[in-house]
Amino acid sequence: MPSEEIEPGDNAQNATTPQPRRSFFTVPPPIKRLFDKFPLLTYPANELPLRAPRNRHQHALYIFTTTAGATKGAPSYNPSCLKWQTYLKFSQLEFRVVSSNNHASPSGALPFLLPSSPDISKPLEPVSSDKLQKWALNNGGAAVEEPSDLRYEAYLSLLDHRIRRAWLYSLYLTSNFTSIAESLYVLPTSSNSLVRLAIAYELRAAAEAELLKHSTIVNAESLYEDAKEAFGALETVLGDDEWFFGAEKPGLFDASVFAYTHLLLDDGLGKGWAESRLQNIVMQRGKLVAHRGRILAAYYPSA
Amino acid sequence: MVLELHVWGPAFGLPSIDAECNAAIAYLNRAVSPGQWIVVADHDTAISPNNEFPALRDGSSYIAGFQNIVQYLQQYPAGPYSLDSGLTSQQTADKAAFSAFLETTARPLLDLSLYTSFENYSNITAPAYTAILPWHTNYIAPPTHRDAARARTAHLGLGGLDVDTSGLESPETGAASLSGEFEAAKKAAGIPSDSRASRPGLLSLGRQKGIQGLLSSPVYAARFRLDALANDFLGPLFDLLGKKNYLLSDSQPSSLDCLAFGYLALMLYPAVPQAWLKEAIQARYPKVVKYIWRMREELLGGGEEIKAADVFSLTAYRGRSDIELEDARRKIGLRLPWHPTPSEPPSTMVLNIAREIASSIPILSLAFRRSTIQPSSSPSPSTISPNQTSSLPSPLLLNSLAAFSTAVISAIAGIAIHQSRYPRSGDLFFEAPREQWQGLGQAGDLLGALAEHVRAEKEWSTRWQSERSGGDGGMGADQGMATVAEVGVEGGRERTHSVPSTREHIT
């Protein structure tokens, strides 16, 4: 019972020296004083990692190119990428070039374009290559008008069929594969030699399968003859005009022709053309060589 | 020397079932004087350098493909057989461009119309092949052509045409396109479909029966795409024709007219059930229809139908003289210089059949596959050395690696199979248990020998003691001791070999 008597006494003592009622959660004053000193120093926000996307205000065209080529805006080493890269330059759109590969593309094939969006939180849909022309017309500054020549489609099929097949054969199924395709398409993809070997095999098999779609036998002579005839026809239709079909300004057709002629005439492609038969065919066509030179000088001054 | 043109046989009233063959026949009929060429309805493509018809035989050399044949005839020594000599350079360029254009646009259209579309293929194309091929080739050539046509048209995404019509009966598989399957799968999984076609709307008056149902059936859904494709081909051709008589000039046909006729005739004349291509030409381009009729008259020399049975009835005149053959042709009413197919010895037939069967068996086919790439015979010299060293590992490394791993895997598999086939009776022990666990090995033997030695010594000493007590001489004791030492050494040596023999010695 004495303990009971003491307790009221304690209470009385507390009451005489009134203190603010402390809850369980209140920080004890010494610790609070210590923590009041924090933070001792506020650092500035960390920078974004190097690979974080920047330049969101610019359209980005994803193409096959080297890292150095991407910063310089050099021409791509892939014909269909170079065609659209050149076309976008014709339409005077501001865009930057990003080095990429087929796995990055939503459609499975390069090129594609990631449009800049005013609102970063709502990115726009990527534009695949078959819709690039329409997109450029809707968003472009200078409209590139296409000549309404009735032969336009026919001459385009020369490029897409005859010349493309000779290109596929020459690049993938001759010694050019070692000197050009290997260093451009195979070596950058992986550092593992077995993976590289598998990719090289797949590339060649795909090229062969594509060529076998249109004939049961891939005959080099007839492919080169067809390409020779096609380049001859293209030179004839260009004639003495500056651009194809007598247009005022270069258009998609000029870009398509340039995509092949430039790469065939470019000695710095890979390690150079080891089997130069297709290159010689183009070299004999002086007007096409001049046409390529005009575009290169006006739109790729750094290259 | 008479030029010999080998083609696929006649079909649909046309000289051949193939577009390029028709074009080649038209070209030779127009360019080469009669009597200088013959045409053979053949089926063995092995004679052709590119495994396809048309193939032109001149003596011992063969030229394959329409473009190559035209080029060859233009440089033919016995009076150049050319239709393109009067063309300007601009027209020559147009000819090259539109030839490529025909190949890229007309070829897929024919593929879709005659091969990919199941209804047309099974009702029209396959029976036409049956009429012109011997029984064994009929199992090989048409499916090969169909597969090639499918591969060429795969990128167009019109697989909906390639559907068995019986599948159309059930509404679930009605839209057999990819999206149709996707919607059906969604419905089956109970996910609300957001496709307009599956939502009950005003236009759908029942299951696949309303206008929307009709339009979403594969034939009509594809119809819009097909019409667009047909327009892509016919529009530019129509523009090129313009008001001219022929595609390039107004005065005379060119090789381009022959090629265009080859493709267009196969679009217009076959009486296919799904006649979208025929209708597209007839409804929107009547001028093109008139052009086809005129070309048939001018290039083939008459619009009458060519029947496969008539052409193959000429086989009865095999080996007869040309005059008899000429009479027979006139009697039947064949204007083109048809010749009977050369007889095929049974051994060749059996060999061909065996080769075809072997080439469709997965691993055997590797041995029978013909090389599909014919590299250029004269590689052009280059400024850089052609023997660039590849930085890839050589395929030899990969092959040896593969061979090694295959060997290892097959060895393991072989052991496993052996084990499962001849299982061991009883448990498998990796080490047989020892019979004497208590033994200490060689040390035990040595100790044992020592123990024997001690025992023998004790025995001898007791015997000696008993003899001594029996009054024996010191001489005997000495002798006895020597014998014990001898036995001990000998026993120790022997013991390391076998215990029982030592025991025999001692006891």
pLDDT tens column, A48-77 = 887 776 677 788 889 998 888 888 888 999
A179 in reach of chain B (CB within 8 A): yes
Three-state DSSP class for residue B146: helix
Q: B369 or B84: whose pLDDT is higher?
A: B84
Average pLDDT over residues B403-411: 95
List the single range of A24-38, A110-124, B158-172, B320-334 with lowest mean pLDDT: B158-172
Going by C-alpha positions, the residue among B163, B153, B270, B145 that lies closest to residue B217 is: B163
Provide Rg for chain A, Cα atoms: 33
pLDDT at A17: 52
**Which among B385, B391, B394 has a CA at the least distance from the CA of A181?**
B391
Q: Which residue has the higher pLDDT, B122 or B163?
A: B122
Whether A3 shows a pLDDT value over 50: the answer reads: no
Is the pLDDT reported for residue B378 higher than 60?
A: yes
Give the class (CATH, top level) of A59-139: alpha beta
**pLDDT tens per residue across span B240-256:** 888 888 888 888 889 99
Span B412-465, pLDDT tens digits: 999 999 988 887 666 666 665 566 555 566 777 788 888 888 888 888 888 888
* pLDDT above 90: residue A293: yes
Alpha carbon distance B94, A234 (integer Å): 9
Question: Quick one: how far is CA B386 from the chain centroid?
Answer: 32
Chain centre to alpha carbon of residue B378: 30
Higher-confidence residue of B87 and A231: namely A231
The ipTM, to two decimals, is: 0.78
| Strand ranges (E), B170-267 | none
B487 sits in which H/E element = helix B474-495
Where in chain A are the domains?
A: 59-139, 152-299
What pLDDT was estimated at residue B377?
Answer: 67
pLDDT of residue B505: 47
Q: What is the mean pLDDT of residues B271-298?
A: 90
- Looking at residue B199, its pLDDT comes to 43
Give residue B137's pLDDT band: very low, low, confident or very high (50, 70, 90).
confident
Q: For residue A201, which of B360, B151, B399, B363 has the smallest C-alpha distance?
A: B399
Are A276 and B50 inside 8 Å of each other by CB?
no
Q: Which of residues 230-249 of A touch B (CB under 8 A)?
A: 230, 232-234, 236-237
CATH of domain A152-299: 1.20.1050
Helices B474-495 and B441-469: crossing angle, nearest 10°? Answer: 170
Q: Which residues make Cβ contacts (< 8 Å) with residue A71, sequence separation at least 6?
A: none
Greater model confidence, A73 or B302: A73
Bond before B386 cis per omega within 30 degrees: no
Residue B106: its pLDDT value, please?
A: 92
Contact flag A154-B240 (C-beta cutoff 8 Å): yes
pLDDT score of B411 more than 80? yes
Average the pLDDT over B68-92 and give the result.
Answer: 85
Give DSSP secondary structure letters for B81-94: --S-TT--HHHHHH
pLDDT digits (tens, 9 = 90+) for A183-203: 899 888 888 888 888 899 899
Cβ–Cβ below 8 Å for A216 and B103:
no
Torsion angle of the four alpha carbons B44, B49, B55, B59, in this order, in degrees rounded to the nearest 10: -100
- Nearest chain B residue (CA) to A195: B392
pLDDT band at B218 (very low <50, low <70, confident <90, very high): low
Q: Which candidate, A153, A150, A158, places its Cα nearest to that of B240?
A: A150
pLDDT at B102: 92
Question: To the nearest whole percent, how much of chain B has pLDDT over 70?
Answer: 73
pLDDT class for B197, splitting at 50, 70, 90? Answer: very low
| Total residues found in chain A within this entry | 303
Amino acid at A291: H
Is B14 strand, coil or helix? strand
Sign of CA dihedral A14, A15, A16, A22: positive
Tokens representing residue A78 in the block: 């892939």
Half-sphere exposure in the Cβ direction for B34 (13 Å, CA): 7
Of the candidates A28, A256, A45, A278, the one whose C-alpha atom is nearest the C-alpha of residue A165 is A278
Which residue is it, tokens 């590299």? B375
Quick check: A244 and A237 in contact, CB under 8 A? yes
Cβ separation of A237 and B90 shorter than 8 Å?
A: yes
How confident is the model over A23-47, as a mean pLDDT? 83
Instruction: Yes or no: say if B16 and B25 are a contact pair by the CB < 8 Å rule.
Output: yes
Q: Which of A288, A259, A292, A251 is nearest to A147 (CA)?
A: A251
Between CA B235 and CA A32 the distance in angstroms is 86
Contact A274 B392 (CB under 8 A): no
Mutate to test the interface with A, among B380, B385, B394, B397 (most CBs of A within 10 A): B380
- CA-to-CA distance for A74 and B283, rounded, in angstroms? 50
Q: How much is the average pLDDT of B84-94?
A: 87
Kindly tell me the burial class for residue B481, based on how many C-beta atoms sit within 10 Å of its own C-beta (0-12, 13-18, 19 or more): middle
Within 8 A of B384 by CB-CB distance, chain A residues are: 179, 271-274
Output B189 or B32, whichever has higher pLDDT: B32
Q: Which residue did the predictor score with more confidence, A242 or B364?
A: A242
What average pLDDT does the structure give for chain A?
Answer: 84
Helix, coil or strand: residue B419: helix
Could A197 and B52 be called an inter-chain contact, meaning their C-beta atoms sit closer than 8 Å? no
Report the pLDDT value the prediction gives residue A222, as an integer from 0 to 100.
87
Mean pLDDT along residues B17-35: 90
Q: What is the pLDDT of residue B59?
A: 86
Alpha-carbon Rg for chain B, nearest whole angstrom, is 45
DSSP B140: T
Q: What is the pLDDT of residue B170?
A: 37
Residue to test with chain A: of B390, B397, B399, B401, most A Cβ within 10 A: B390
Q: Do B94 and A232 touch (CB under 8 A)?
A: no
**pTM of the entire predicted model:** 0.74
Q: Are B95 and B87 in contact (CB under 8 A)?
A: yes
Going by pLDDT thresholds of 50, 70 and 90, the confidence category of residue B163 is: low
Average model confidence (pLDDT) for chain B?
77
Helices (H), chain A: 2-16, 29-36, 67-72, 79-90, 132-139, 152-157, 164-172, 176, 193-212, 220-238, 252-265, 277-283, 286-299
Beta strands at A218-219 and B373-374: parallel, antiparallel or unpaired: parallel
Specify the pLDDT at position A18: 54
CA distance B114 to chain A (A): 17
